[in-house]
Structures are given as structure tokens and as C-alpha cells.
Amino acid sequence: MMLELHDPVVALMRSVGRDIVMPRYQNLASDEISEKATNDFVTIADKESETRLAEGLSALLPEAGIIGEEACAADPAILDRAGEGLNWIIDPIDGTGNFAAGKSPFGIIIALVDGGATLAGWILDPLTGRLCHAMLGGGSHVDGSQVQARETGGALPIAALATFFMSAEERADMVRRSEASFMLVDIPRCAAEQYPRLVLGQNDVSVFARTLPWDHAAGTLFVNEAGGCCQRTDGTPYVVGDLRRGLMGASSPRLWDKAAATLFG
């Protein structure tokens, strides 16, 4: 089933990127941007993208439910069934803050999940056309070529820490623990970009506080299928529907263990 779905899903994502997302890039009116919460933006392109993706995915696999970020913003109860049965998970524009500001990165993320397990995930960068995808047990691919996660190889591993959803105390503690063992770099505030960086030799470690499925279901699978390691900070697997805080990805199991001991030990 996964192989049969791949090409239609990719075609749908590319058409939405081409016809809905990119025409609005750097072309949004002020009344087409709003805040769902402080520093949590939504645009007309997010809403139109989710509508089109939901319609297309429902046609491809009618037995699967739809769990979209914007639908959940309107009705939080939808998120309660994220770990129940077969569902499409949709992030219509990941990195909306960047998109709304007229800058990259941003992306479209789709995952197909069954219960708590992610079966397949797709991450599209509409600006460059780069497509990352993974299937459970089938490896990870970028633009059709299979990839293996690789460490950056620097003197200090490179860590991008998503500290903006942490308290001031948590943020200060993580920076203090990190500074002697890692080179800290800015995180792009876009999971659609951050997960590929862990596989493609750009970053070694990333820590996320929030673990919403539209941000992390596809990316976690992508890193793990590439031979990296992405799991809860306590060492347990990431399970869709479990909304506890704390998730860490690394370009190798070795670096995951190092980071866990340093940051959470």
C-alpha cells in the first residue's frame, strides 16, 4: 500500500506547493496573516493548503481519518484521536512564522500513521523542490535517492536546540549543559528543515520541547529510517498521540547517547 500511495501523495504535495503556497510567498496582505497564539501564526495559505491536502488525501485513502494542524486549532478534540486507527497527519505549512515573514525555511509535511506508529512520512520544501520521504522498514530518501544519516564530523558536535517553548529556567540549564560539549547553532523554527539537517550532515543533535504529531511524526521516521536516532528524551520511542514534552534527534545513536547523558543525565 505504501508504495502505491507514494507517487500520488508526492504529486498532491507538489501541486499544493506550486498552486497555493508559492503564489502567496512574499505576497501576503496584512489581513491574510493572524496569530492563533503568541508567536504562533496562521495564513490564508495554511488554510487553503490544508483544505486541498485533506481533500486529496481522503480521495487516495478514504478509510483514513484526517488530522490537520489548522483543523485541530479550530477543534482541539480532533487531536485526541491522533493515536487511534489509521490517519493522515497534515502540516499544511510548517514554519509559518518564516513564511509569513517572507523568508525561508518552510515546508509541507504529511504522515500516514496507524495507531501510534508512523507508516510513512513526506517532507517537501516548496521553495527548492527537495522531497524527503521515509517508509517504515523501507529506508529514507531525498529526491528519490536513499540516504544514510551522517555526523558533521567537527571537533564539537553541532546542536540546534528548540528552546523557545521552554521556560527561562529550562532554557538556561540546557545552554549551560551544552556549551562545553556542543557547538550551538540557531534552529530554523521549521521541523521540515531541521529533520533533514540531522540526516544530511549539517547538524548532529536537535532537542524539541513540543511534540505535536504534524511537526514530528514524519521527521522522526525519516531520521530513524536513515540510521540516526530520534526518540523521547527518556529513551522511549516517539509514539503518535503521546503529547508529552521532550523529543531529541541525533545523526547517530552514538551522538544521541552522548547528548542524553550531557543534557538530561
Q: Is 173 annotated as a binding residue?
A: no
Distances from the Cα of 14 to the Cα of 49, 200, 259, angstroms: 11, 22, 36
Query: Which residues are within 8 A (CB) of 175 and not within 5 positions of it... i.e. 6 or more apart?
Result: 161, 163, 184
Q: 169 among the known binding-site residues?
A: no
Distance CA 107, CA 262 (A): 31
Rg of the chain in Å (alpha carbons) = 17
Check the annotation: does 91 bind a ligand.
Answer: yes
93 known ligand binder: yes
End-to-end CA distance of the chain: 41
Q: Which residues have C-beta within 8 Å of that of residue 204, sequence separation ≥ 6?
A: 151, 152, 157, 158, 159, 182, 198, 250, 251, 252, 255
**Which residue positions form the known binding site for Mg(2+)?**
69, 91, 93-94, 215
Question: Which residue ranges are tagged as binding site?
Answer: 69, 91, 93-94, 215
